[in-house]
Amino acid sequence: MIQKLTFGEPFIAARYIEQEADYAAPDQCILVNLDTEQPVLVENGFSLPPLQACEIRFSHIRVPGKALLLRHAGTVDLNDLQTLDILRKVWKSNWELTHLPQHRGVPYYKSPKVTLGKLSMNLCLVAEPECPSGIHREHDRPIRELHVQVVGQGAVDLLRSPDPASVYASLPLAAGTVHIPEWNAEGVYPWHRYRSVTRCIFLAVSIEE
Ligand SMILES: [Fe+2]
């Protein structure tokens, strides 16, 4: 099953793929394995493990579980102010979405959210470099959370406490990558935050347990 998703418009096209024996991916795209158990088989014996991402190019893939393809991310230039302005108009800032005081003036802009069963996803523009999100440990429900870097560079920081000076590990993110899981063997998260390194776009993925 292949489903076109529009949440990345106007610049990023998305396809959700489920249980496809042979899908011919088009030109360069980011492949995200959204399955918690099954790999995505690419070519020549290369398989993408669960909850991992990579870039592929004109590749044939076999998706026994669930996957996402994002196209055209490589053409998005966030140093082009016209592009930035379009995204800031089409996607909603955290402040517009919540009106929480901590979101006032914070340059995070979220695309529409897509929900497919236990899975939900949205893209997020961080319009300034070196800009951290809020530090948190809990989510509104028990989830597996991933940040897939789509444009530019970012990082996920792990912290000892809500104090921004208490970072003890950072998981760097280049476009086309996802971090190793933040949660421990018991499914418990440390204090954590996303942080832009350059202006960037990432894909936030939540999988309900
Ligand atoms: Fe989180």
Q: What is the DSSP string of 22-70?
A: EEE--SSEEEEE--SSPPEE-STT-EEPTT-EEEESS-EEEEEEEEEEE
| In a shared domain, residues 69 and 87 | no
Q: pLDDT at residue 44 above 90? A: yes
DSSP β-ladder status, 119-126 and 108-110: antiparallel
Nearest CA among 106, 104, 88, 89 for reference residue 194: 106
Ligand 1 centre to CA of 183 (Å) is 10
| In a shared domain, residues 85 and 62 | no
Nearest CA among 132, 124, 114 for reference residue 34: 114
For the chain, what is the mean pLDDT? 95
| In a shared domain, residues 15 and 39 | yes
| In a shared domain, residues 42 and 82 | no
Ligand 1 centre to CA of 85 (Å) is 27
Q: pLDDT at residue 100 above 90? A: no
| In a shared domain, residues 27 and 83 | no
Which of 43, 73, 103 represents a domain boundary (last residue)?
A: 73
Cα distances (Å, whole numbers) of residue 189 to 135, 140, 192: 12, 13, 8
| In a shared domain, residues 85 and 145 | yes
pLDDT-derived band at 98, boundaries 50, 70, 90: confident
Ligand 1 centre to CA of 9 (Å) is 24
Across 23-39, average pLDDT: 95
| In a shared domain, residues 68 and 102 | no
| In a shared domain, residues 50 and 89 | no
| In a shared domain, residues 104 and 184 | yes
Which of 73, 97, 113 represents a domain boundary (last residue)?
A: 73
DSSP-based three-state secondary structure for 98 = helix
| One-letter amino acid of 138 | E
Number of separate domains in the chain: 2
| In a shared domain, residues 91 and 120 | yes
Which of 73, 93, 112 represents a domain boundary (last residue)?
A: 73
Q: Percentage of residues in the chain with pLDDT exceeding 90?
A: 88
| In a shared domain, residues 42 and 24 | yes
Encode pLDDT of 153-200 as tens digits. 999 999 999 999 999 999 999 999 999 999 998 889 999 999 999 999
Across 20-28, average pLDDT: 93
Encode pLDDT of 60-88 as tens digits. 999 999 999 999 999 999 999 999 999 99
What is the per-residue pLDDT for 102? 84
Q: Which domain holds residue 198?
A: 77-208
Whole-model pTM: value is 0.95
Ligand 1 centre to CA of 26 (Å) is 32
